[in-house]
Amino acid sequence: MVLHAVFFKVRAAVSEHETRRVLAALAALQGKIDGLIAVDTGPNIDLESKSPGYSHGFVMRFETRAALEAYATHPAHLAAATALVAICEGGAEGITVFDLAL
């Protein structure tokens, strides 16, 4: 299994409605992409005050590394990623991705 964790800061001018729409589109990838078995999204509550630069994030669980690799080029992912980049402070540069092999 591979855990795909993504952290980002939404631009101040972006509405909460638009942020929820983008996160919902990311969650909707489950069932569209083979091997994507779970998606969780939400705001950063930063209980330890260690990640103030990130307002939101999501994690995805993939059955295999091959499934994650296929996700990277899947058209549904590319569409959702384009929407995500559009709301992020710094665009693509404002997104941090961390993948863990479990």
How is the chain split into domains, by residue range? Answer: 2-45+53-101
Report how far residue 37's alpha carbon sits from residue 55's, in angstroms, rounded to the nearest whole number. Answer: 24
Report how far residue 28's alpha carbon sits from residue 6's, in angstroms, rounded to the nearest whole number. Answer: 16
Q: Which long-range contacts (CB under 8 A, 24 or more apart) does 77-80 make?
A: 77/29, 77/33, 79/25, 80/22, 80/25, 80/26, 80/28, 80/29
Report how far residue 31's alpha carbon sits from residue 12's, in angstroms, rounded to the nearest whole number. Answer: 31
pLDDT digits (tens, 9 = 90+) for 1-37: 999 999 999 999 999 999 999 999 999 999 999 999 9
pLDDT digits (tens, 9 = 90+) for 65-81: 999 999 999 999 999 99
Q: Rounded to the nearest 5°, which phi and psi values hold at 30?
A: -65, 130
Which amino acid type is present at position 80? Answer: A
Strands (E), the chain: 2-8, 36-43, 56-62, 95-101
What is the CATH number that goes with domain 2-45+53-101? 3.30.70.100
- What does the pLDDT read at residue 83? 98
pLDDT digits (tens, 9 = 90+) for 80-101: 999 999 999 999 999 999 999 9
